[in-house]
């Protein structure tokens, strides 16, 4: 029996503040953890339908993204099954509609991965800028933890990488807020 193939995919546009949170979360995961061979970390950016081939390889797909649902900025979401289309379409973001279409095509090809979306209510997705708002940035550890909980439920235990001081590297040039991973 082969291991289930798991893809953790961050989507969004890093050029629009909080819109890029999904990509930033997978960057953090990739920086902080080593994953078994059956787990693939993917920066899906705004590729939408171009991700069809990648998505169809998965048995289980964890998507990380900004999700607008008219709640307070920083509100975390876990969407699954019938909740996904309603929430994605509510965002009116082209990459999210394309992602939904890619998932629908996978279903038509009979290679539809079990999918969960880990999302966060963005504060600002219109301002051009690489920095996320503080509201969303301070929730990054919680988003990483939600992905780790999904993996734990699938029986996957990534190993933590030693970074910075833990690895004996002095990093005086980088200032960080406590509890916020370097991104």
Q: How is residue 97 written in tokens? A: 């509609």
pLDDT at 104: 59
Q: Which fold has domain 6-167?
A: Rossmann fold (3.40.50)
Is pTM beyond 0.85? Reply is: no
| Three-state DSSP class for residue 27 | helix
- Taking Cα atoms as reference points, which of 128, 99, 117, 136 lies closest to residue 18? 136
Q: Where are the domains of the chain?
A: 6-167
Segment 48-106, tens digit of pLDDT: 777 777 888 899 999 998 888 889 999 999 988 777 665 454 444 544 545 666 665 55
Query: What span, in angstroms and rounded, lies between the C-alpha atoms of 80 and 183?
Result: 27
Mean predicted confidence (pLDDT) in 18-45: 94
The gap between the terminal CA atoms of the chain, to the nearest Å, is 37
Q: What is the DSSP letter of 16?
A: B
Give the largest Cα separation in the chain, rounded: 52
Segment 134-167, tens digit of pLDDT: 999 999 999 999 999 999 999 999 999 866 555 5
Q: What is the DSSP letter of 5?
A: P
């Amino acid at each position: 029996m082969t291991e289930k193939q798991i893809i953790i995919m961050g989507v969004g546009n890093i050029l629009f503040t909080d819109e890029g949170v999904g990509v930033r979360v997978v960057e953090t995961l990739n920086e902080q953890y080593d994953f078994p061979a059956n787990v693939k970390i993917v920066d899906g950016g705004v590729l939408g339908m171009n991700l069809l081939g990648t998505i169809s390889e998965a048995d289980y797909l964890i998507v990380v993204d900004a999700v607008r649902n008219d709640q307070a900025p920083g509100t975390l979401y876990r969407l699954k099954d019938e909740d996904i289309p309603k929430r994605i379409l509510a965002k009116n973001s082209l990459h999210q509609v394309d992602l939904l279409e890619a998932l629908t095509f996978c279903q038509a090809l009979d290679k539809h991965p079990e999918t969960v979306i880990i999302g966060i209510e963005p504060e600002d997705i219109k301002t051009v800028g690489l920095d996320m708002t503080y509201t969303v940035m301070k929730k990054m550890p919680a988003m990483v933890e939600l992905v780790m909980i999904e993996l734990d439920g699938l029986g996957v235990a990534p190993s933590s990488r030693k970074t910075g001081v833990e690895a004996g590297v002095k990093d005086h040039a980088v200032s960080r807020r406590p509890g916020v991973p370097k991104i």
